[in-house]
Structure 1
Amino acid sequence: MLPSQEASKIYHDNYMRNSRTIGVLWAIFTICFATINVVVFIQPYWIGDSVSTPHAGYFGLFHYCVGDGNSNRELICQGTFSDFSSIPSGAFKAASFFVLLSMVLILSCIACMALFFFCNTATVYKTCAWMQLLCAVCLVLGCLIFPDGWDAEVIRDMCGEETGKYTLGNCSVRWTYILAIIGILDALILSFLAFVLGNRQRDFIHDEIKAENKDLAVSRIEIRAKDPRFGVQQFP
């Protein structure tokens, strides 16, 4: 084996080992992000009551629970995604749609990981990267649109008269909203990493092909140099 071939093999082995490790971590964190996305969509704790509100309650994208006014412990829950008319605000409906779309995209991204066994690795990474980027965009839209519905009557009844669009009044932001913002950052980082892995994989394949062609050319030159049919035979 030629020295250049040995160096290329060592580089190839090291690259594949590191690439697999980073790829596995990327896949694990993608699954974790998908879990976050599902929780953000389902859990009704985007905003909620505080010590200043007249009664207890909390609101999600489409499901909400508020006190009946007689007891702070007894909550009346309403709203389902299957019945859009039960969602208290048009902004909540739009936010629900975008967060749902984000969830579908990230679950589709996980399904696309099976293509690593059948398709070009760089292509799969870039496909997943675009899906994760779109997922982040949908989450951003959901988080930006959701506060536009804070002026709904049922929210004003609980959070006070000062409550309005992008003004929460006496209520407070809950953990699910914060988790959604963290999910946006997570999706952007995962998308960037997938783009990097895809580009490195493509560049590595190109470099490997060039190295193989170079080694093949060198081998042919050496064969020609040693074969007397390709040169003038010298006699002592």
Structure 2
Amino acid sequence: MLDVSNAAEIYHTSYVRNARAIGVLWAVLTLCFAVLCVVSFVQPFWIGDTDRSPQAGHFGLARYCLGDAVTQGLVCHGGFLDFSSVPSGAFKTAAFFVGTAMLLVLTSLVCLSLFFFCTAAAVYKVCAWLQLAAAALLVLGCMIYPDGWDAPQVQQTCGAGTDKYHLGQCSVGYAYLIAILGILDAMVLSLLAFVLGNRQDRLLPEDFEPEPRDGAV
């Protein structure tokens, strides 16, 4: 049977290996989450027309596209460099919150480079707070966005019955669903980062050495 010192050393080695494997998985998922945030932020497909809609069109946070009767195509308006053309103040506010959440997630990615300069526990905890804040901002953005569904451009596409928090004859687009999924992702990733950070605090020091056996010099 292994003595206590050898058992402790083996346990420590296995513990560190498992923690690093989970840390790599967390970093990969954080990268995927950042990609989802960018897609949700820039794509104008938060809501869109259906077969029952009086007009073709789709809307994002700042950019939207409406059907044109002459060209039989879509004409796009607005953008993050032309906030004055955004149909609703609620859309602008949602864009601010979702954009800030995206920046926080991207910042957490940049913080991964701090593993070379700071303790792993500190980096995990910083990233955890950034991701938790991003989740809160995404919640605000997703809750505020429907408040702008009474905009004339939205009613033109989705029907006269469209109102705040009532989408009429349109449907929720994939960018909105990605944002909602991002909330869950951010909460799970932040929780995992907190757990990893606390576990790193409990790891034995790198210079751990087993005590000499009885009778050893």
Q: Could you state the TM-score of these two structures normalised by the residue count of structure 2? A: 0.92
- Give the C-alpha shift of residue 51 in structure 1: 1.1
CA-CA distance at 1:70 after TM superposition: 4.8
CA contact (8 A) 2:101 2:133 kept: yes
Which amino acid letter does the alignment assign opposite residue 28 of structure 1? V
Q: Does 1:6 align with 2:6?
A: yes
Residue 88 of structure 2 corresponds to residue 128 of structure 1: no
Residue aligned with 1:66, SS = strand
More helix by share: 1
Aligned to 1:94: 93
- Deviation of 1:177 (Å): 0.7
Which residue matches 2:19?
19
**Greater Cα shift, 146-155 or 75-84:** 75-84
Structure label with greater radius of gyration: 1
Query: Structure 1 runs of 4+ off > 3 angstroms?
Result: none
Identity among equivalent positions (%) equals 55
Q: Alignment length, in residue pairs?
A: 214
Alignment of 1:82-161 (within 5 A): 82-161=81-160
2-side partners of 1:203 and 1:165: how far apart?
50
**Higher normalized contact order (CA 8 Å, seq sep 6+, divided by chain length):** 2
1:6-25 deviation line (CA, Å, top 9, x unaligned): 22211111011101110000
CA distance in 2, matches of 1:87, 1:31: 30
Structure 2: stretches of 5+ with no match in the other structure: none
- Name the residue aligned to 1:164: 163
After superposition, give the CA deviation of every residue in 1:35-94 in whole Å (9 maximum; x if it has no partner). Answer: 0000000100000001111121000000000112456x3111101112211111000000
Given residue 104 of structure 1, which amino acid in structure 2 is its aligned partner? L
Instruction: Specify the alignment match of 1:230 in structure 2.
Output: none
Which position in structure 1 is the counterpart of 2:79? Answer: 80
Distance in 2 of aligned mates of 1:181 and 1:204: 35
TM-score (norm 1): 0.85
Rounded Cα–Cα distance in structure 1 between residues aligned with 2:75 and 2:23: 46
